[in-house]
Structures are given as C-alpha cells and as structure tokens.
Amino acid sequence: MARAQGARALMALAFETTYGTPPASGFTRMPFASTSLGAEQPLLNSELLGYGRDPLAPIKDAVTADGDVVVPLDAEAFGFWLKAAFGAPTTTGTEAPYTHEFQSGSWTLPSMSIETGMPEVPRYAMYSGCVLDQITWQMQRSGLLTATARLVAQGETVGTTTSAGTPAALGLKRFGHFNGAITRNGTALGNVVSAEITYANNLDRIETIRSDG
C-alpha cells in the first residue's frame, strides 16, 4: 500500500455557483500547511433486547463535515480566504496594484468546494458546501506567519481520481512577521509584543433530514 507524502499533497479550491454543488472547472491550487478538514459519521449501538450476548450491527448516525485549514498569509492566495470570510470585495484601480476593500457584516457568504489530494494512495476528497466560520492569525516578532480558517462543509465525496481537473497555479508571494505593523489612525501603536486577530461569522448549522446523512 502506498504511503502519502506531504511533499505531494494537493489542495484545490473553487467558489460554488450553487451551494453544495462542486463546479466543473475553475479550481485554483491553494498553498496550505495542514488541514483537519474531514467527515465523521458515528455508529450507534443497538438498544434492542432479546438477541443474546453478541451485539447487533450498529446503526449509522448523521454525518458531520468540518475542520481547520492552516494557510500562509500571502499576496494572492490569501485573498480567497478573505473573500470566504467577508464576501466579494470592492476593487478599485485601472491597473496593478489594485485596491481590494473587504467589508464586515455581509449577509450572504460565498460557499466553496475544496478538494484535498494524496496522489500516491491515491485518495482525493471533495468537500462541497464549505463556508468559512472563523479565521484567526497572530502577529509577533518572528516565526512563520499563518492563519487558521475554520470551515463548515455540507459533505465529503472520496474518489481515486481528481474532480478538480488541472487547477490554476498562483505565484507564492508570502508575507513574514517583519512586514507587519500595528497602527491606529495611521500612527504606530505603542510597543506591541504580540497580537491575535479573530474574525468569526458565527455560523449555525441547518441540520435537515437528507438521504446522504
């Protein structure tokens, strides 16, 4: 049996037109450090009496699909996660560099389809209906600058071939802690040793009855 290697791990992302339906194309390869995105379906022990000492076959419970993705803060790919958190930005400028302004409080958040792939196994898991619940990152003196995105998904589909096609590639232009500054009204704010920023959409799951769990 082949063993998966992190050096070849893949993640592709596309925004959905219809919630819960992965698009046929338009995926982009995303840089990531780790992910716990997955589906879980507990098994319920049978409560029936009169069938002897041996336990009866368990019953499948509801499926829960969610998890965290740790991503770098960079000049291109991080914009996808900001769009997932705030909705589409207002973009100004006729040529690069453009200005993208994200506003808090969007009533409608975009949903995403995210595929994680391990080619050696092979195993490709497509998570549809992904919505960003919370995003967090820290600022400090040194170290690697990453953010953690907490996602809630509708479901998981696992296959041996990719459903994302050939995703578009982005140039990795990563930021470091030494690029950052903390200001208030345009003026540097005191001697800040570290800071943590959390933006939460406070999603509520709508757990309707479905044939797929």
pLDDT tens-digit readout, 3-40:
878 889 999 999 999 999 999 999 999 999 999 999 99
Tens of pLDDT along 123-159? Answer: 999 999 999 999 999 988 889 999 999 999 999 999 9
Helix or strand holding residue 79 (H, E) = helix 78-86
pLDDT of the residue at 186: 82
Residue given tokens 């082949």 in the structure block: 2
- For residue 43 the two structure tokens come to 């098994």
Whole-prediction pTM: 0.89
**pLDDT for position 212:** 67
Q: How far apart are CA 65 and CA 35, in angstroms?
A: 13
Separation between Cα atoms, residue 190 and residue 212, nearest integer Å: 54
pLDDT digits (tens, 9 = 90+) for 100-122: 999 998 889 999 999 999 999 99
CA 34 – CA 203 distance, rounded (Å)? 23
CB 75, CB 175: distance < 8 Å: yes
Q: Residue 138's CB: how many other CB atoms inside 10 A?
A: 15
Average the pLDDT over 75-92 and give the result. Answer: 95
